A and B are shown apart, each in its own frame.
Chain A
Amino acid sequence: MEELLKISQLKVHFPVKGGIWMRPVATCKAVDGVSLKVAKGETLGLVGESGCGKSTLARTVVGLNVPTAGEIFLDGQKLGDFGGKLGKENRKRVQMVFQDPAESLNARHNVGQILEEPLVIHQIGDSCQRTARVKELLNLVGLPENAGSRYPFEFSGGQRQRIGIARALALSPEILVLDEPVSALDLSIRSQVLNLLLELKNRLGLTCLFIAHDLSVVRHLSDRIAVMYLGKVIEIASAEELINNPLHAYTRSLIDAIPQPNPQVRGKFSALSGEVPSPINPPPGCAFGYRVGSPSYAKSIGQILALKEYSPGHFVQECPCCMI
């Protein structure tokens, strides 16, 4: 398969400032050595608990965070630099949909202006063509054409998310990064937006990076799923394989923690003890073994925990304490 997006050994570290001079006193390793490949037309799901670095990774891919180390390639071409003329071209190819549609739309612009802005910035078409494109976009996401003259507050949550999706599609990107696009939506609206995303993906042949904490939603939309824990990817496999045959103990517990909407499996869901360790001061060995107090945790200290391919396409972090 032709790979479109390649992330190689990406690290994003943030300085933690403290003391009266607000000098950097520590580093928060939000993303710590992530390598991923996404094929053309594929949807890669990214799951993990809050604070595991999945949003930071997404923001880095679209150029909102600067990588500390590592590289991002798009079609074999380095994407690291988002400044200058070339950077502008790159940004056109990767677009993002944000979690909270109420906060990511400019309240003082009407929907027409919001959708037109990317086209204006990239100097695409004249005003007539842009107006036509705005109508086309509204159609595409299932909003009425007169929505263009209305303001974000006049829309419901689900409709606002449709506007957010339309804006991301304005420049016909090759890659769409979706950061928790349905988490803020109501139950009956969520399935409407998921259906829209599925339809757009198939119709426009989009390559997606789909981030969510809800494993059942991710499974529904993704071809492959990567599980992140404390800044690292610990397991990648095809969606079905990952759910049915998880190899890492953390993936297993993520699946078990989901309360199933099915009374038949009642009592089977189980809680994982402890909390995610801080990325500012991560434990020396395997971060998950440390959390659950695994008896063989000590063996993982000092080892390099690398991803290993166990079966074709199923990668898991090889670690003495967390393998199932």
Chain B
Amino acid sequence: MSLLEVRGLEVAFENEEGEDLVVVDGVDLSLKPGQTLGLVGESGCGKSVSALSLLRLLPQPTGKILNGSILWKGNDLLNMSTDEIRSIRGKEIGMIFQEPMNALNPAHTIGRQVDEVYITHQGLDRGQARVHTLKMLQKVGIPEPSIRANEYPHQLSGGMRQRIVIAIALACEPDLIIADEPTTALDVTIQAQVLQLMSELQEQSGASLLLITHDLGVVAQTCDEVAVMYAGRIVERAPMHRLFEFPQHAYTKGLLASIPSLTGPVQTKLPVIQGMIPALADLNSGCRFASRSPHFHEQEWLEVRAPLVEVEENHWVEDCPACGRLNNQSSI
């Protein structure tokens, strides 16, 4: 059984004229216990908004969930009261944000910020909470936790701050961790440390991980399954190995081809995806990659959305006749 099952999620933001701009358009996701799912896409494709909607943390009053269901252990998060959802946030689902400096309160010591999780969710008093906090800080690799706990976020380096955010997210041993670009703001060496720490802790606790990232390298190193998002929709979803070996959608293929690697040819032109991501206001209802795709699209394909089809076990792709699975032979 899946731990989290998202069906037909549709999220919109209201613009100044009161119109709804749909940012996430019919997204399906499912996560099994212990699994790591990577959600990949470029900025503005709706991956962070999808993650925020899972915890109902969309900016108010402009952000709204129009449609769909988010089943958490069988219960729909969208029908829960504010109190119920608050008891899930931080306890059953932990969240790690991109920029640790913005995720931490600069006016409180880091110890107090970790304590808060135990006090809120486990009803401990300050003294008991601090005992757990120090253990947790130790676990995420903070040297001298009892001294560090009394320091403020600005006194720590970026990598250390991200460790604190991880400590907060994992304090109650959640069943699901949502990590939104957890290492994008970090140096490559620190990124490796944080990724290793996350996978160690995940292994210990058996939690599932929803990892949002734009870095295909991170995906290849950490995920079991990958979903590729483009302009608000998931265009391809596959087990990690299959996605890299056997990409189906023109966008996925283009992305994989365009990253310089440590082993490829140098000083040659990289294959590129032409053009740029379409603006939210001019999204069509059919294939959204059409304007950048190297393949010809019939008018009909631009107007009618193609369903996701399963091309091999557990490997789903948006079935656009031009960009989807039918273009296997041709290359970009």
B21 at the interface (CB under 8 A from A): no
Tell me if B193 counts as interface (CB < 8 A to partner A): yes
Q: How distant is the Cα of A263 from the Cα of B188 in the complex, in angstroms?
A: 18
Which residues of B have CB within 8 Å of A258? Answer: 188, 217, 262
**Considering the chains assembled together, what is the distance between the CA atoms of A236 and B107 in angstroms?**
44
B contact residues, total (Cβ < 8 Å)? 48
- Residues from chain B with a CB closer than 8 A to the CB of A195 are 269-270, 272
Interface residues in A108-157 by Cβ distance below 8 A to B read 156
Chain B residues within 8 Å of A2, by CB: none
Which residues from chain B contact A269 at a C-beta distance below 8 Å? 192, 221
CB pair B214 A187 closer than 8 Å: yes
With A191-B270, A194-B260, A260-B261 given, is the CB distance from A275 to B276 under 8 Å?
A: no
Q: Does A275 contact B157, Cβ atoms closer than 8 Å?
A: yes
What's the least CB distance linking A152 to chain B, in Å? 16
Contact: A260 with B277, CB < 8 Å? no
Q: Do B254 and A266 have beta carbons less than 8 Å apart?
A: no
Residue A71 at the chain B interface, CB threshold 8 Å: no
Contact residues on A (Cβ < 8 Å of other chain), bracket = 35 or more
Question: Is A83 engaged at the interface, CB distance under 8 Å to the other chain?
Answer: no
Instruction: Please indicate the chain A residues that have their CB under 8 angstroms from the CB of B240 in the complex.
Output: 263
- Interchain CB contact under 8 A, A261 and B42: no
Q: Are A271 and B193 in contact (CB under 8 A)?
A: yes
* Contact digits for B241-276, partner A, Cβ 8 Å, 1 yes 0 no: 100110000000011101111101011111111101
Residues on A with beta carbons closer than 8 Å to the beta carbon of B160: 275
Chain A nearest CB, measured from B6 CB (Å): 24
- A259-B196 Cα distance, complex, nearest whole Å: 11
- Least distance between A203 CB and chain B CB atoms (Å): 13
Contacts of A190 in B (CB 8 A): 258
Cα A273 to Cα B217 with chains together (Å): 20
Contact B258 A271 (CB under 8 A): no
1/0 contact trace for A251-286 toward B, CB 8 Å? 001111111111100110111110100000000000
CB distance from A163 to the nearest CB of B (A): 15
A254-B191 Cα distance, complex, nearest whole Å: 11
Nearest-neighbor residue (CB-CB) of B251 within chain A: A188
Within 8 A of B (CB), among A207-257: 213-217, 219-221, 239-240, 243, 253-257
A261 CB contacts on chain B under 8 angstroms = 216-217, 219-220, 244, 256, 259, 261
Residues of A bordering B, CB below 8 Å: 49-50, 156, 158-159, 186-192, 194-195, 198-199, 213-217, 219-221, 239-240, 243, 253-263, 266-267, 269-273, 275
